[in-house]
Structures are given as C-alpha cells and as structure tokens.
C-alpha cells in the first residue's frame, strides 16, 4: 500500500512540544512518507525539537523567528540548499500576551493587538512569500485556525480577531498563489489541550462543554487534525484551496 506523502518534502513550523498540533501533524506526515524540515525558536526550543524529531524523518531542523525577515530569508536559503523542491508547508503559529487574553477585549493594548496579529496572521503571509518560490511544482500551504475567528468565544479575545485575519489571508493567498499551483487552506480544529490553549481563560470549561454540544459528543483528537493536514498536503486534496476545513466533531454547526 502506497503512502499518501511518499517522496514529498514538507516544512512544519510551530512544534512546541509533544502535545502541540504541529507535532501530531509531523508524526502523520512522517507516517505517510514525507521528509520533513522542522523549525525552532531559540536555543531552548532547539533542544526540544531535536529530541522530538526522532522517528519523524527530519531532513533539517532550522531556526526561524517569523517576526524577523532576515530569519525567513535564511530559512529560504537553507531549504534551497537541500536541492529539492518543497511540496508542503504547515503553519502552526499563534501568540498573544497572556494579559491580553485575561482582560476584556475592549481593553486590548495597541502593542498587544499588533503583536497578536503579527505572529498569528501576518506570519502566514511572510511564510508564503518565503516558501512559494521553493514550490516549483506547486504544493500545499496549510494553517491552523479556530471557531473563535467567527464566533465570540469568551476569553479568546484578541486571538479571535487574529484568527479572523488569518482566515482572510488564506483566501487572498489562495487567489494569488493559485496560478503557481499552490493551494492555501486552513484547518479549524476543535479545542485541544495544548500549552497555548491553556492561556485562554476558562479553557477547561470549553473542553467540558464540547461532549455535550458537539454532534459527535466528544472532543477533537489531535490525530484527526493531523490526518486532515495529510489530506490537504496530498494529491487527494489537489482541488481544494481557499477553504477552512472544520475538524471539530461538528460543533461549528450548533447554535448557542
């Protein structure tokens, strides 16, 4: 039985630890035969990524701070040096200061708003610009979003606005990169217990409510999100672009 990503080269940005969705996606990509380039932020995270890379078929582990253009340029150069085209990119990056999530949205600071939009939304544009030239045969660019982009999720605050911007960027990038046969999509995962999710106030109550509200009556499994990412990166998803694919046990269809 052939593997869905056999022979493909994929870049995954945003692995933080073994609980992160990006790590689940990396494992699924490796399972399906992809060679991976992984990124890290700072020396401390480098050690963690190197430790997690075992069994992931990692061809490269590279530094990248997406808020610094020079590091994105260096990332492009390092990937070019590998001498093979890039087939898929997974953007799993988001950040907001914890205090911005703890206070009412109306009290969001200008600096906090700018930081959240920069890391969580603009970085997709910057990553696309850095990697599109490497996708000489076309490819897939996927990012991760959440229902808080279109619905008010108490405590999600500025991150919800950032995800709304991210989803708009997906549509514009899909339109512009389509002629290069590059597809751009977002996966909207249900709530998953990750390190970043714990920064959202009362996140545990959201997890507790899901099995009562979602049509499938359970929480989202990270492996389900990872398999959706495999689909989008594979030839099976060759006609899908500009979309938000919900992997949330159906909760997005429910009213209050």
Task: Give catalytic residues, as residue numbers.
Answer: 146, 156
Distance CA 173, CA 225 (A): 22
Query: Within 10 A of 212 (CB to CB), how many other CB atoms are there?
Result: 7
Of 41, 28, 43, 81, nearest in space to 59 by CA:
81
For the record, the structure tokens of 90 come out as: 């997974």
How far, in Å, are 40, 111, 143, 219 from residue 240 at the CA level?
A: 29, 36, 14, 26
Strand order across the beta sheet in which 244-247 lies: 58-63, 35-40, 9-13, 88-91, 139-145, 182-189, 244-247
Number of H helices, E strands in the chain: 9, 7
CB-based contact 101:201 (threshold 8 Å): yes
């Amino acid at each position: 039985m052939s593997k869905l990503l056999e022979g493909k080269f994929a870049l995954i940005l945003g692995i933080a630890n073994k609980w992160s969705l990006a790590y689940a996606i990396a494992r699924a990509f490796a399972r399906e035969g992809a060679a991976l380039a992984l990124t890290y932020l700072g020396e401390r995270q480098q050690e963690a990524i190197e430790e997690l890379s075992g069994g992931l078929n990692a061809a490269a582990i590279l530094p990248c701070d997406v808020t610094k253009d020079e590091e994105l340029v260096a990332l492009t150069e390092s990937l070019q040096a590998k001498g093979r085209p890039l087939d898929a990119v997974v953007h799993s990056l988001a950040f907001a200061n914890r205090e911005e999530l703890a206070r009412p949205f109306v009290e969001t600071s200008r600096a906090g708003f700018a930081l959240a939009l920069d890391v969580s939304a603009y970085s997709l544009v910057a990553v696309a610009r850095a990697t599109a030239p490497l996708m000489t045969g076309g490819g897939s660019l996927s990012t991760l979003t959440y229902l808080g982009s279109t619905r008010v999720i108490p405590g999600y605050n500025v991150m919800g606005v950032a995800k709304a911007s991210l989803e708009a960027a997906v549509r514009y990038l899909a339109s512009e990169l389509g002629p290069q046969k590059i597809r751009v999509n977002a996966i909207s995962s249900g709530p998953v217990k990750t390190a970043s999710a714990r920064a959202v106030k009362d996140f545990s109550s959201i997890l507790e409510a899901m099995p009562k509200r979602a049509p499938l009556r359970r929480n989202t499994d990270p492996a389900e999100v990872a398999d959706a990412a495999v689909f989008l990166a594979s030839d099976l998803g060759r006609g899908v672009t500009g979309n938000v694919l919900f992997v949330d046990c159906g909760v997005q269809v429910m009213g209050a």
